[in-house]
Amino acid sequence: MSEDRVMSLVRQVWLMLFGVLLFALVGGVTTHTLVARQSLRLQLQARNHDGAMMFALALSQQPGDAARMRLMAEARFDTGHYRRLQLVREDGSLIFEREWPERPAAAPHWFVQLLPVAVEPGLAEVTDGGRRIGRLQLWHQTGWAVDALWTGCLRMAGWLAALSLAAAAVAALAVRAWRRPLLATVAQAQALEERRFIIADEPRVPELRQLTRSMNSVVRRLQAVFEQQAATLEELRVQAQTDAVTGLTQRRHFLTRLDSALAAESHRGAGLLLVRLRYLEAMNRRLGHQATDRLLAALAQVLQSYPRHVQGALAGRLNGSDFALYLPASGMAEESARSLLEALRAALATVDREADLAVGGAELPLPSGAAAALALADGALAQAESAGAFAMCIAPPMPADAPMRGEGDWRARLAAALRFGRVRLMAYEVLDAQGQLLHLDCPMHLQLDADGPFEPAVRWLAMAVRCHLVDQVDLAALELALQAIDQDGRPRCVNMAAASLADDGFIAEVQQRLNSAPQAAAKLWIDLAEGAALQSRRLRDAITAWRRLGVSVGLEHAGAGLLDLSRLHALGVDYIKIDGAFVQGVATQPEVRELARGLIALLRGMQVQILAEAVLDEADLAVLWALGFDGATGPVLQSV
């Protein structure tokens, strides 16, 4: 491979030299030919002028006798130096004219056509004393000029070709000299692969000397490293089990110790917590590697406090953003997760106030294995991630013989449900104050197992996001909603996840499906998550295109992030659904009523519909209508 690269470099140098020489050759010949052609044209012009003056002088000595003038002109013209002679009276009539065929030139025909040397004729007046007889025009032969131009072109091309060959020979010697140190460098690299160390001689060329010097330096350093390898083998073995940034146990060693701990007969129960530092790559870009490493070290310091104070506890780093904490007793997972979450929040805030993490955990049945324990805790972590920043979720205890579903199992079940069409849209009415239908809320239910029930999104949505299948779920819901609208004409609303909307391909697919069903699209409503909509600028163009088709686009579960009204208004939404947490108890709790009234005051000026979610009580519903809500949904309205 290295030899091919060297040869490729040599070929590139040769191609460059060939191009330069060819450009110089063509440019030199072209420039010389154009300059010579201009010089020959000036000579021809002078000849035409001088010949015309001599002809006119000789004809003027004939006392206006046309026959004598003709005889004299023919005698001079027949010398063969001229191509055409013409004498014209003042009124434009022809006195006489003489023309001789053009002498064929020795130059090729294409050359004559490409570089013609014809010029204007020479002009002179013929007189008889003081009386003007006529105007004389004279053209000389041009074949000699074309021959001279062709000969000069060949001569110049020959000289330049010889100089190019000499330059190519010199270049060949230079390339050969450059190639030797390159091949020596290749030999050094090949020797390193075989654990041999070669020091190459430094060439005279400065650039290549620097390359060889650097390569020799690398060889010397590697030689020193290999010589010390035997002495540091034990130290490297220890380092292989520990994460360099955090000092925590690495994944493989942690799982080995976890398996051993879970297999111990003395334990009656255990807990496992997983901590995920979210958006690690974005943090790296925002803070830089050094600051991010300090943040990771702060997180690890909090985790390491448990093994130092709790005998049998284990802490480890599973990958770049995932950490694990094993608790050697049952009933400790939830309490430990809460205290851990608060400690981590405080520790990370000292480095980055925008840091965000989630904690998932599980009470483990014993006996158990590391893989099953991770699968159970990972499911809880997925639920915590879907809940937002600094959220936690603890999976309840499970029997020892209960199936532990990992990410691979979830992916297979979700993919099968989508592939075989085991999907269903539910329908919940959203009504206005007069009881008229605004639209049907249509959450997606999936039948994860062929003989199992259809389950709501709360059971599988987090894992769909984790398995990168949520875009397929959203597209399936969109397709079902458009089909249902075509069948009964009732407007329907579907949800689109933030993870789906982050993909430009998904947005394009939605646009294509809406374009293919414009009548149904005019009765479609699309819910966007509040946080996703406020953080995504790319939605603006998509929402504009959807709304042109008549689609109504709005925010669901809103209420916690409505302070950024400028960005919210720029998205061009048609409605906002206020989360049930902000309206439940509005009839009996003054603070909830004031909050609802404030939300109405903030949003009314944006000319959007304001809808209430999850209304449970008729008294609450009456107050919401009085406050000015445009619509509502919830259990209390499904019986209206």
| Each residue's pLDDT tens digit, 36-55 | 888 888 888 888 788 888 88
- Total residue length of the chain: 640
Q: What is the mean pLDDT of residues 63-89?
A: 77
Full-model pTM: 0.48
* 106 pLDDT higher than 60: yes
Q: What is the pLDDT of residue 103?
A: 66
| Each residue's pLDDT tens digit, 171-189 | 777 777 767 777 777 776 7
Q: What is the mean pLDDT of residues 18-31?
A: 81
Residue 635: count other Cβ atoms within 10 Å of its Cβ: 11
What fold, for 242-404?
A: Alpha-Beta Plaits (3.30.70)
Amino acid (1-letter code) at residue 491: P
**What is the distance between the alpha carbons of residues 378 and 367, in angstroms, rounded to a whole number?**
19
Q: What is the pLDDT of residue 193?
A: 64
The residue ranges of every structural domain in the chain are: 1-231, 242-404, 411-632
Q: What one-character-per-residue DSSP string does 481-525 give?
A: HHHHHHHH---EEEEE-HHHHT-HHHHHHHHHHHHH-HHHHTTEE
Weakest-pLDDT range from 201-210, 299-308, 518-527, 541-550: 201-210
Number of helices and strands in the chain (H, E): 22, 21
| Each residue's pLDDT tens digit, 347-372 | 888 888 888 899 999 888 766 778 88
Q: How confident is the model at residue 2 (pLDDT cuts 50, 70, 90)?
A: very low
> When comparing pLDDT for 487 and 165, which is higher?
487
Q: One fold for both 242-404 and 411-632?
A: no
Give residues with Cβ within 8 angstroms of 469, minimum separation 6.
Answer: 411, 414, 415, 418
For domain 411-632, give its CATH number from 3.20.20.450, 2.60.40.3880, 3.30.428.10, 3.10.450.30. Answer: 3.20.20.450
| Each residue's pLDDT tens digit, 308-329 | 888 888 999 998 889 999 988 8
> When comparing pLDDT for 508 and 564, which is higher?
508
Weakest-pLDDT range from 52-61, 127-136, 232-241, 606-615: 232-241
**What is the distance between the alpha carbons of residues 341 and 594, in angstroms, rounded to a whole number?**
32
* 76 pLDDT higher than 60: yes
Q: What is the pLDDT of residue 88?
A: 84
* 146 pLDDT higher than 50: yes
Q: How confident is the model at residue 562 (pLDDT cuts 50, 70, 90)?
A: low
Q: What is the pLDDT of residue 240?
A: 53
Secondary structure letter of residue 204 according to DSSP: S
Percentage of the chain exceeding pLDDT 70? 85
* 196 pLDDT higher than 70: no
